Structure 1
Amino acid sequence: MKERTALIAGATGLVGNELLQILLQEKEYERVYAIVRKSLMLKHPKLIEIVCDFDRLEEVKEYFAVDDVFCCLGTTIKKAKTREAMYKVDVEYPVTLAKLAKAQGACHFLIISSVNANVESFIWYPKMKGQLEEQIKNIPFATTSILRPSLLLGMRKEFRFFEGIAIKVVRGLSILLRRSLPSQMGIEAKIVAQAMYQIAQMNKPGVRIYSPKQMEDIIK
Protein backbone atom coordinates (compact mmCIF):
# COMPACT_ATOMS: atom_id res chain seq x y z
CA MET A 1 0.00 0.00 0.00
CA LYS A 2 1.35 3.40 -1.03
CA GLU A 3 2.41 5.63 1.85
CA ARG A 4 0.56 8.92 1.70
CA THR A 5 1.88 12.43 2.24
CA ALA A 6 0.16 15.53 3.63
CA LEU A 7 0.75 19.27 3.59
CA ILE A 8 -0.64 21.60 6.24
CA ALA A 9 -0.79 25.41 6.15
CA GLY A 10 -1.85 27.27 9.27
CA ALA A 11 -0.41 24.77 11.76
CA THR A 12 -0.07 27.41 14.48
CA GLY A 13 -3.77 28.29 14.51
CA LEU A 14 -6.49 26.90 16.76
CA VAL A 15 -7.61 24.13 14.38
CA GLY A 16 -4.27 23.78 12.61
CA ASN A 17 -2.37 23.00 15.79
CA GLU A 18 -4.89 20.29 16.73
CA LEU A 19 -4.80 18.87 13.20
CA LEU A 20 -1.00 18.77 13.06
CA GLN A 21 -0.89 16.58 16.17
CA ILE A 22 -3.40 14.19 14.60
CA LEU A 23 -1.49 13.98 11.32
CA LEU A 24 1.73 13.18 13.16
CA GLN A 25 0.15 10.63 15.50
CA GLU A 26 -1.91 8.64 13.00
CA LYS A 27 -0.40 6.08 10.64
CA GLU A 28 -1.94 7.13 7.33
CA TYR A 29 0.79 9.61 6.42
CA GLU A 30 4.45 8.80 5.93
CA ARG A 31 5.45 12.47 5.75
CA VAL A 32 3.76 15.67 6.88
CA TYR A 33 4.93 18.97 5.42
CA ALA A 34 4.13 22.11 7.40
CA ILE A 35 4.34 25.52 5.72
CA VAL A 36 5.16 28.14 8.35
CA ARG A 37 6.43 31.70 8.62
CA LYS A 38 8.69 30.76 11.53
CA SER A 39 9.78 27.49 13.06
CA LEU A 40 7.27 25.49 15.08
CA MET A 41 10.13 24.38 17.35
CA LEU A 42 8.73 20.87 17.07
CA LYS A 43 10.66 17.71 16.28
CA HIS A 44 9.00 14.60 14.88
CA PRO A 45 10.33 11.94 12.48
CA LYS A 46 7.42 12.49 10.06
CA LEU A 47 7.46 16.30 10.14
CA ILE A 48 9.19 18.33 7.45
CA GLU A 49 9.03 22.04 8.23
CA ILE A 50 9.04 24.57 5.38
CA VAL A 51 9.78 28.08 6.61
CA CYS A 52 8.84 30.54 3.89
CA ASP A 53 7.39 33.90 2.93
CA PHE A 54 3.73 33.30 2.03
CA ASP A 55 4.00 36.04 -0.57
CA ARG A 56 6.49 33.79 -2.38
CA LEU A 57 4.90 30.37 -2.13
CA GLU A 58 5.97 29.48 -5.65
CA GLU A 59 9.56 29.26 -4.39
CA VAL A 60 8.71 26.17 -2.32
CA LYS A 61 6.14 24.62 -4.65
CA GLU A 62 8.13 21.41 -5.05
CA TYR A 63 7.02 20.45 -1.53
CA PHE A 64 3.36 20.66 -2.59
CA ALA A 65 3.47 17.35 -4.50
CA VAL A 66 1.46 15.54 -1.82
CA ASP A 67 -1.73 13.52 -1.61
CA ASP A 68 -3.75 15.73 0.75
CA VAL A 69 -3.49 19.47 1.41
CA PHE A 70 -4.99 20.82 4.65
CA CYS A 71 -5.48 24.61 4.62
CA CYS A 72 -6.21 26.15 8.03
CA LEU A 73 -5.10 29.69 7.20
CA GLY A 74 -6.99 32.65 8.62
CA THR A 75 -6.55 35.82 10.61
CA THR A 76 -8.56 38.64 12.19
CA ILE A 77 -8.99 42.29 11.27
CA LYS A 78 -7.34 43.23 14.57
CA LYS A 79 -4.22 41.26 13.74
CA ALA A 80 -4.17 42.08 10.03
CA LYS A 81 -4.94 45.80 10.63
CA THR A 82 -6.68 46.28 7.26
CA ARG A 83 -9.26 44.42 5.16
CA GLU A 84 -6.73 44.18 2.35
CA ALA A 85 -4.20 42.42 4.59
CA MET A 86 -6.86 40.10 5.98
CA TYR A 87 -8.08 39.24 2.47
CA LYS A 88 -4.52 38.32 1.53
CA VAL A 89 -4.26 35.78 4.38
CA ASP A 90 -7.82 34.42 4.18
CA VAL A 91 -8.22 34.30 0.40
CA GLU A 92 -5.11 35.02 -1.66
CA TYR A 93 -2.74 32.71 0.20
CA PRO A 94 -5.12 29.72 0.22
CA VAL A 95 -5.98 30.16 -3.47
CA THR A 96 -2.31 30.44 -4.44
CA LEU A 97 -1.52 27.37 -2.34
CA ALA A 98 -4.35 25.43 -3.99
CA LYS A 99 -3.27 26.36 -7.52
CA LEU A 100 0.35 25.43 -6.88
CA ALA A 101 -0.60 22.17 -5.17
CA LYS A 102 -2.90 21.19 -8.05
CA ALA A 103 -0.10 21.89 -10.53
CA GLN A 104 2.17 19.61 -8.47
CA GLY A 105 -0.34 16.77 -8.58
CA ALA A 106 -2.11 17.01 -5.21
CA CYS A 107 -5.41 15.11 -5.19
CA HIS A 108 -7.45 16.36 -2.22
CA PHE A 109 -7.68 19.95 -0.98
CA LEU A 110 -9.35 20.54 2.39
CA ILE A 111 -10.00 24.05 3.67
CA ILE A 112 -11.67 25.75 6.61
CA SER A 113 -14.21 28.40 5.66
CA SER A 114 -17.07 29.79 7.79
CA VAL A 115 -20.60 28.69 8.62
CA ASN A 116 -22.04 31.88 7.13
CA ALA A 117 -19.93 32.01 3.96
CA ASN A 118 -21.96 33.64 1.19
CA VAL A 119 -20.57 35.40 -1.85
CA GLU A 120 -23.83 37.40 -2.13
CA SER A 121 -23.72 38.65 1.48
CA PHE A 122 -23.80 42.39 2.22
CA ILE A 123 -21.55 41.74 5.23
CA TRP A 124 -17.86 41.82 4.42
CA TYR A 125 -16.59 38.75 6.32
CA PRO A 126 -19.09 36.14 5.04
CA LYS A 127 -18.79 37.67 1.57
CA MET A 128 -15.00 37.25 1.73
CA LYS A 129 -15.36 33.61 2.78
CA GLY A 130 -17.86 33.08 -0.02
CA GLN A 131 -15.35 34.49 -2.50
CA LEU A 132 -12.73 32.13 -1.10
CA GLU A 133 -15.00 29.14 -1.61
CA GLU A 134 -15.90 30.10 -5.17
CA GLN A 135 -12.25 30.40 -6.18
CA ILE A 136 -11.30 27.13 -4.51
CA LYS A 137 -14.20 25.31 -6.18
CA ASN A 138 -12.88 26.37 -9.59
CA ILE A 139 -9.56 24.58 -9.08
CA PRO A 140 -10.15 21.04 -10.43
CA PHE A 141 -8.91 18.78 -7.64
CA ALA A 142 -10.17 15.20 -7.67
CA THR A 143 -11.66 16.04 -4.26
CA THR A 144 -12.33 19.41 -2.65
CA SER A 145 -13.63 19.51 0.92
CA ILE A 146 -14.86 22.77 2.41
CA LEU A 147 -15.48 22.78 6.15
CA ARG A 148 -17.80 25.48 7.48
CA PRO A 149 -17.37 25.64 11.27
CA SER A 150 -19.37 27.97 13.48
CA LEU A 151 -17.73 29.89 16.35
CA LEU A 152 -14.52 28.00 17.14
CA LEU A 153 -14.17 27.02 20.78
CA GLY A 154 -10.77 26.38 22.33
CA MET A 155 -7.73 28.00 23.91
CA ARG A 156 -6.08 30.42 21.52
CA LYS A 157 -2.52 31.65 21.90
CA GLU A 158 -3.63 35.24 21.30
CA PHE A 159 -6.49 37.02 23.03
CA ARG A 160 -9.49 38.01 20.89
CA PHE A 161 -11.79 40.29 22.88
CA PHE A 162 -15.12 40.00 21.03
CA GLU A 163 -14.60 36.34 20.20
CA GLY A 164 -13.82 35.71 23.85
CA ILE A 165 -17.12 37.30 24.86
CA ALA A 166 -19.02 35.22 22.30
CA ILE A 167 -17.42 32.01 23.56
CA LYS A 168 -18.34 32.87 27.15
CA VAL A 169 -21.94 33.52 26.11
CA VAL A 170 -22.19 30.20 24.23
CA ARG A 171 -20.66 28.22 27.08
CA GLY A 172 -22.70 30.12 29.65
CA LEU A 173 -25.93 29.25 27.84
CA SER A 174 -24.87 25.62 27.71
CA ILE A 175 -24.34 25.56 31.49
CA LEU A 176 -27.58 27.47 32.14
CA LEU A 177 -29.65 25.13 30.00
CA ARG A 178 -27.71 22.09 31.23
CA ARG A 179 -27.20 20.71 27.76
CA SER A 180 -24.96 21.14 24.76
CA LEU A 181 -25.99 23.91 22.42
CA PRO A 182 -26.43 23.29 18.68
CA SER A 183 -23.13 23.08 16.79
CA GLN A 184 -24.36 25.94 14.60
CA MET A 185 -23.65 28.24 17.57
CA GLY A 186 -20.21 26.93 18.47
CA ILE A 187 -17.95 23.96 17.83
CA GLU A 188 -14.74 22.80 19.49
CA ALA A 189 -11.63 23.28 17.35
CA LYS A 190 -10.61 19.72 18.23
CA ILE A 191 -13.81 18.41 16.61
CA VAL A 192 -13.15 20.39 13.42
CA ALA A 193 -9.58 19.06 13.28
CA GLN A 194 -10.72 15.46 13.82
CA ALA A 195 -13.43 15.84 11.19
CA MET A 196 -10.95 17.32 8.72
CA TYR A 197 -8.68 14.33 9.20
CA GLN A 198 -11.55 11.83 8.84
CA ILE A 199 -12.85 13.56 5.70
CA ALA A 200 -9.40 13.17 4.13
CA GLN A 201 -9.63 9.42 4.72
CA MET A 202 -13.12 9.25 3.16
CA ASN A 203 -11.78 10.91 0.00
CA LYS A 204 -15.15 11.31 -1.71
CA PRO A 205 -14.75 12.80 -5.23
CA GLY A 206 -16.01 16.21 -6.25
CA VAL A 207 -16.68 19.36 -4.22
CA ARG A 208 -18.26 18.76 -0.83
CA ILE A 209 -19.26 21.21 1.88
CA TYR A 210 -19.51 20.18 5.54
CA SER A 211 -21.66 21.93 8.16
CA PRO A 212 -20.87 21.92 11.91
CA LYS A 213 -23.49 19.19 12.45
CA GLN A 214 -21.98 17.03 9.72
CA MET A 215 -18.52 17.45 11.27
CA GLU A 216 -19.85 16.27 14.63
CA ASP A 217 -21.56 13.30 12.99
CA ILE A 218 -18.39 12.30 11.12
CA ILE A 219 -16.32 11.83 14.28
CA LYS A 220 -19.03 9.94 16.19
Structure 2
Amino acid sequence: MSKTAIILGATGLTGGILLQKLIRDNRYSKIKLFSRNSVHISSDKIEEHLIDVLQLENHSKDFIADEVFCCIGTTAAKTKDKKLYKSIDYGIPVSAAKIAKQHKIDTFVVMSSMGADANSTIFYNKTKGEMERDVLQQNIKNTYILRPSLIGGNREENRLGERIGKVVMRFLNPFMIGNLKKYKMIHPEKIATCMQVLANTTNEQVILSSDEIVEISKTI
Protein backbone atom coordinates (compact mmCIF):
# COMPACT_ATOMS: atom_id res chain seq x y z
CA MET A 1 0.00 0.00 0.00
CA SER A 2 1.46 3.37 -1.02
CA LYS A 3 1.78 6.05 1.62
CA THR A 4 1.61 9.83 1.86
CA ALA A 5 4.25 11.67 3.88
CA ILE A 6 4.39 15.25 5.08
CA ILE A 7 7.75 16.99 5.43
CA LEU A 8 8.19 20.26 7.29
CA GLY A 9 11.60 21.77 6.61
CA ALA A 10 12.34 20.17 3.24
CA THR A 11 14.29 23.27 2.18
CA GLY A 12 16.79 22.65 4.98
CA LEU A 13 19.84 20.40 5.02
CA THR A 14 18.41 17.27 6.65
CA GLY A 15 14.89 17.75 5.31
CA GLY A 16 16.22 18.05 1.77
CA ILE A 17 18.11 14.77 2.06
CA LEU A 18 15.03 13.09 3.53
CA LEU A 19 12.93 14.36 0.62
CA GLN A 20 15.30 12.78 -1.91
CA LYS A 21 15.15 9.49 -0.02
CA LEU A 22 11.35 9.41 0.03
CA ILE A 23 11.18 10.27 -3.67
CA ARG A 24 13.25 7.14 -4.35
CA ASP A 25 11.27 5.03 -1.85
CA ASN A 26 8.51 3.04 -3.61
CA ARG A 27 6.50 2.88 -0.40
CA TYR A 28 5.57 6.55 -0.88
CA SER A 29 3.29 7.81 -3.65
CA LYS A 30 2.88 11.38 -2.41
CA ILE A 31 5.08 13.76 -0.41
CA LYS A 32 3.42 16.92 0.86
CA LEU A 33 5.77 19.81 1.59
CA PHE A 34 4.74 22.70 3.83
CA SER A 35 7.18 25.58 3.53
CA ARG A 36 7.56 29.26 2.71
CA ASN A 37 9.81 28.52 -0.24
CA SER A 38 9.80 25.98 -3.03
CA VAL A 39 12.34 23.16 -3.08
CA HIS A 40 12.55 23.56 -6.87
CA ILE A 41 12.54 19.81 -7.44
CA SER A 42 10.46 18.20 -10.15
CA SER A 43 8.77 14.97 -9.06
CA ASP A 44 5.29 13.55 -9.58
CA LYS A 45 5.30 12.64 -5.89
CA ILE A 46 5.73 16.20 -4.61
CA GLU A 47 2.77 18.35 -3.60
CA GLU A 48 3.99 21.75 -2.38
CA HIS A 49 2.04 24.01 -0.05
CA LEU A 50 3.80 27.38 0.04
CA ILE A 51 2.49 28.90 3.23
CA ASP A 52 3.48 30.76 6.39
CA VAL A 53 4.42 27.75 8.50
CA LEU A 54 4.00 29.85 11.64
CA GLN A 55 0.28 29.73 10.80
CA LEU A 56 0.19 26.01 10.11
CA GLU A 57 -3.17 25.56 11.83
CA ASN A 58 -4.78 27.63 9.05
CA HIS A 59 -3.92 24.85 6.60
CA SER A 60 -5.19 21.90 8.62
CA LYS A 61 -7.45 20.67 5.80
CA ASP A 62 -4.38 19.88 3.69
CA PHE A 63 -2.47 18.28 6.56
CA ILE A 64 -3.56 14.74 5.85
CA ALA A 65 -1.06 11.91 5.46
CA ASP A 66 0.21 8.66 6.91
CA GLU A 67 3.37 10.15 8.43
CA VAL A 68 4.78 13.52 9.43
CA PHE A 69 8.49 14.36 9.37
CA CYS A 70 9.37 17.61 11.12
CA CYS A 71 12.87 18.87 10.30
CA ILE A 72 12.23 22.48 11.34
CA GLY A 73 14.88 24.34 13.29
CA THR A 74 16.73 27.64 13.51
CA THR A 75 19.71 29.02 15.45
CA ALA A 76 20.26 31.87 17.88
CA ALA A 77 22.58 33.50 15.34
CA LYS A 78 20.02 33.31 12.55
CA THR A 79 16.99 34.22 14.68
CA LYS A 80 18.01 36.64 17.41
CA ASP A 81 14.46 37.46 18.53
CA LYS A 82 13.67 34.90 21.24
CA LYS A 83 9.91 35.14 20.69
CA LEU A 84 10.30 34.34 16.99
CA TYR A 85 12.87 31.66 17.79
CA LYS A 86 10.40 29.89 20.07
CA SER A 87 7.62 30.28 17.49
CA ILE A 88 9.80 28.30 15.08
CA ASP A 89 11.54 25.67 17.20
CA TYR A 90 8.64 25.07 19.58
CA GLY A 91 5.55 26.42 17.85
CA ILE A 92 5.79 24.71 14.47
CA PRO A 93 6.52 21.14 15.68
CA VAL A 94 3.86 21.32 18.41
CA SER A 95 1.25 22.73 16.02
CA ALA A 96 2.12 19.98 13.54
CA ALA A 97 1.73 17.32 16.22
CA LYS A 98 -1.65 18.69 17.30
CA ILE A 99 -2.95 18.72 13.73
CA ALA A 100 -1.54 15.25 13.12
CA LYS A 101 -3.42 14.03 16.19
CA GLN A 102 -6.66 15.61 14.94
CA HIS A 103 -6.30 13.82 11.62
CA LYS A 104 -5.37 10.50 13.27
CA ILE A 105 -1.89 10.39 11.74
CA ASP A 106 -0.15 7.57 13.60
CA THR A 107 3.50 8.43 12.91
CA PHE A 108 5.28 11.65 13.89
CA VAL A 109 9.07 12.00 13.55
CA VAL A 110 10.69 15.22 14.78
CA MET A 111 14.23 16.56 15.03
CA SER A 112 15.17 17.97 18.41
CA SER A 113 18.69 18.47 19.75
CA MET A 114 21.16 16.97 22.15
CA GLY A 115 20.73 18.65 25.53
CA ALA A 116 16.99 19.24 25.19
CA ASP A 117 15.55 19.73 28.68
CA ALA A 118 12.32 21.51 29.61
CA ASN A 119 13.84 22.39 33.00
CA SER A 120 17.07 23.82 31.63
CA THR A 121 18.12 27.40 32.33
CA ILE A 122 19.59 27.60 28.82
CA PHE A 123 16.97 29.05 26.47
CA TYR A 124 17.84 26.84 23.49
CA ASN A 125 17.81 23.59 25.49
CA LYS A 126 14.67 24.61 27.37
CA THR A 127 12.81 25.43 24.14
CA LYS A 128 13.69 22.06 22.62
CA GLY A 129 12.75 20.27 25.84
CA GLU A 130 9.38 22.00 26.02
CA MET A 131 8.78 21.08 22.37
CA GLU A 132 9.52 17.41 23.10
CA ARG A 133 7.26 17.43 26.15
CA ASP A 134 4.30 18.93 24.33
CA VAL A 135 4.73 16.77 21.22
CA LEU A 136 4.69 13.67 23.44
CA GLN A 137 1.56 14.96 25.19
CA GLN A 138 -0.35 14.50 21.94
CA ASN A 139 0.05 10.73 22.42
CA ILE A 140 0.54 9.98 18.75
CA LYS A 141 1.05 6.22 18.54
CA ASN A 142 4.46 6.19 16.85
CA THR A 143 6.30 9.29 18.04
CA TYR A 144 10.05 9.51 17.44
CA ILE A 145 12.21 12.34 18.76
CA LEU A 146 15.75 12.55 17.42
CA ARG A 147 18.44 14.35 19.42
CA PRO A 148 21.42 14.72 17.07
CA SER A 149 24.69 16.28 18.16
CA LEU A 150 26.40 18.88 15.95
CA ILE A 151 25.25 18.22 12.39
CA GLY A 152 27.92 18.05 9.68
CA GLY A 153 27.42 18.76 5.98
CA ASN A 154 27.32 22.01 4.05
CA ARG A 155 24.54 24.52 4.58
CA GLU A 156 23.61 27.32 2.21
CA GLU A 157 23.61 29.95 4.96
CA ASN A 158 26.80 31.11 6.65
CA ARG A 159 27.09 29.95 10.28
CA LEU A 160 30.58 30.94 11.48
CA GLY A 161 30.31 29.42 14.95
CA GLU A 162 29.00 26.18 13.51
CA ARG A 163 31.81 26.02 10.96
CA ILE A 164 34.41 26.42 13.71
CA GLY A 165 32.66 23.74 15.76
CA LYS A 166 32.75 21.34 12.84
CA VAL A 167 36.50 21.80 12.38
CA VAL A 168 37.07 21.05 16.06
CA MET A 169 34.72 18.06 16.03
CA ARG A 170 36.38 16.51 12.97
CA PHE A 171 39.57 16.41 15.02
CA LEU A 172 37.88 15.07 18.18
CA ASN A 173 35.50 12.53 16.59
CA PRO A 174 38.02 9.64 16.44
CA PHE A 175 38.64 9.96 20.18
CA MET A 176 34.96 9.82 21.14
CA ILE A 177 34.27 6.23 22.11
CA GLY A 178 32.07 4.52 24.66
CA ASN A 179 29.80 6.96 26.45
CA LEU A 180 31.22 9.82 24.40
CA LYS A 181 29.84 8.48 21.11
CA LYS A 182 26.65 10.50 21.41
CA TYR A 183 28.72 13.71 21.23
CA LYS A 184 30.29 12.85 17.86
CA MET A 185 29.42 15.11 14.95
CA ILE A 186 26.72 13.45 12.86
CA HIS A 187 26.10 13.68 9.12
CA PRO A 188 22.58 14.72 8.04
CA GLU A 189 22.43 11.69 5.73
CA LYS A 190 22.40 9.44 8.81
CA ILE A 191 19.63 11.48 10.46
CA ALA A 192 17.47 11.34 7.33
CA THR A 193 18.07 7.60 6.95
CA CYS A 194 17.15 7.02 10.58
CA MET A 195 13.91 8.96 10.11
CA GLN A 196 13.05 6.86 7.09
CA VAL A 197 13.69 3.64 9.01
CA LEU A 198 11.69 4.74 12.07
CA ALA A 199 8.66 5.67 9.99
CA ASN A 200 8.51 2.12 8.73
CA THR A 201 8.77 0.36 12.09
CA THR A 202 6.30 -0.13 14.93
CA ASN A 203 8.07 1.18 18.03
CA GLU A 204 6.22 3.68 20.18
CA GLN A 205 7.32 7.08 21.53
CA VAL A 206 11.08 6.81 21.38
CA ILE A 207 13.70 9.49 22.16
CA LEU A 208 16.98 8.75 20.40
CA SER A 209 20.46 10.09 21.15
CA SER A 210 22.93 10.84 18.37
CA ASP A 211 24.79 7.54 18.61
CA GLU A 212 21.49 5.64 18.52
CA ILE A 213 20.50 7.56 15.39
CA VAL A 214 23.73 6.41 13.73
CA GLU A 215 23.13 2.77 14.67
CA ILE A 216 19.57 2.78 13.32
CA SER A 217 20.77 4.39 10.07
CA LYS A 218 22.95 1.33 9.48
CA THR A 219 19.95 -1.01 9.34
CA ILE A 220 18.81 0.04 5.87
TM (norm. structure 2) is: 0.93
Instruction: Give runs of aligned pairs for residues 106-121 of structure 1, distance below 5 A.
Output: 106-121=105-120
Retained in 2: the 8 A contact 1:8–1:71?
Answer: yes
Q: How far does the alpha carbon of each residue in 1:166-186 deviate from its partner, in whole angstroms, 9 at most, with x for none? A: 0010113347x6x9x834231
Retained in 2: the 8 A contact 1:64–1:106?
Answer: no
Please point out which of 210, 213, 219 is paired with 2:211.
213
- How many pairs does the alignment contain? 216
Retained in 2: the 8 A contact 1:9–1:73?
Answer: yes
Identical columns (%):
35
TM (norm. structure 1) is: 0.93
How large is the Cα RMSD of the aligned pairs? 1.7
Retained in 2: the 8 A contact 1:108–1:203?
Answer: no
- Structure 2 unaligned residues grouped into runs of 5+: none
Retained in 1: the 8 A contact 2:108–2:140?
Answer: yes
Deviation at 1:131, TM superposition (A): 0.5
Deviation at 1:80, TM superposition (A): 1.6
Q: How far does the alpha carbon of each residue in 1:8-43 deviate from its partner, in whole angstroms, 9 at most, with x for none? A: 000111211111111111111111101110222111
Residue in 2 that maps onto 1:130? 129
Distance 1:174 1:213, change over 3 A: closer
Q: How far does the alpha carbon of each residue in 1:97-125 deviate from its partner, in whole angstroms, 9 at most, with x for none? A: 11112112211110000111111112111
Retained in 2: the 8 A contact 1:98–1:136?
Answer: yes
Residue in 1 that maps onto 2:172? 173
Q: SS at 2:198's partner residue?
A: helix
Most deviating of 101-110 and 129-138:
101-110
Retained in 1: the 8 A contact 2:10–2:18?
Answer: yes
Q: SS at 1:66's partner residue?
A: coil
Retained in 1: the 8 A contact 2:54–2:87?
Answer: no
Q: SS at 1:79's partner residue?
A: coil
Residue in 2 that maps onto 1:199? 198
Distance in 2 (alpha carbons) for counterparts of 1:11 and 1:162:
23
Deviation at 1:58, TM superposition (A): 2.5
Distance in 1 (alpha carbons) for counterparts of 2:190 and 2:51:
29
Instruction: Give runs of aligned pairs for residues 55-94 of structure 1, distance below 5 A.
Output: 55-94=54-93
Distance 1:135 1:52, change over 3 A: same
Distance in 1 (alpha carbons) for counterparts of 2:74 and 2:95:
17
Q: Which runs of 4+ in 1 moved over 2 A?
A: 172-175
